[in-house]
A = this chain, B = another copy of it.
Amino acid sequence: MIEQRIRDSFAKQTMMQTLGAHIAEVGEGTVTISAPILPGSRQQHGVAHAALSFAIGDSAAGYAALTLMPADSEVMTAEMKINLLAPGVGDLLRATGKVIKPGRRLIIVTAEVYAITGAEEKLIALLQGTMVPVSV
């Protein structure tokens, strides 16, 4: 149910379609989003643009928060910090968001973004931020 709600919301995020992202997994307080490194998602050296890691990390964290919210709520990012650890090179990127502390007014979240190359995965970005519930 919550998974369907999240998939419906995700389907309306045209930015996710533009980036070729999809939801890989939904759990209680955690969501994983994957995206290829499309030809149109790169920076000047041909590797994934930081905004791609941000986009899927932020969305994974936001939907992780949403898994713990009442059915009539949505969340918005209040703030997000990203540390970029390594260039985004590989077959695809995979971001897992996680709720660290749920709350009525603020939800503290983190996300890890990995670059996947065959069987190997490498941590390339770490995010830490705050989601706020919004009524819809």
Contacts and interface: CB of A to CB of B under 8 A. Distances in A.
Interface in A1-50: 9-10, 12-15, 17-18, 38-45, 49-50
Chain A interface size, under 10 / 10 to 19 / 20 to 34 / 35 or more: 35 or more
A118 B33 CA distance: 36
A73 interface: no
A83 interface: yes
A36 to B, nearest CB: 13
Given A41-B15, A43-B15, A51-B54, A108 B126 contact: yes
Contact of A44 (B12, B38, B77, B110): B12
Contacts of A49: 13-15, 55
A81 B58 CA distance: 12
B79 A83 contact: yes
A83 B18 contact: no
B83 A76 contact: no
A128 interface: yes
26 contacts: A9-B44, A13-B44, A14-B40, A15-B42, A44-B74, A45-B136, A49-B55, A50-B54, A50-B55, A50-B58, A51-B54, A51-B58, A51-B59, A54-B54, A55-B55, A77-B84, A78-B84, A78-B106, A79-B83, A79-B129, A80-B81, A81-B82, A83-B108, A100-B123, A105-B105, A130-B130
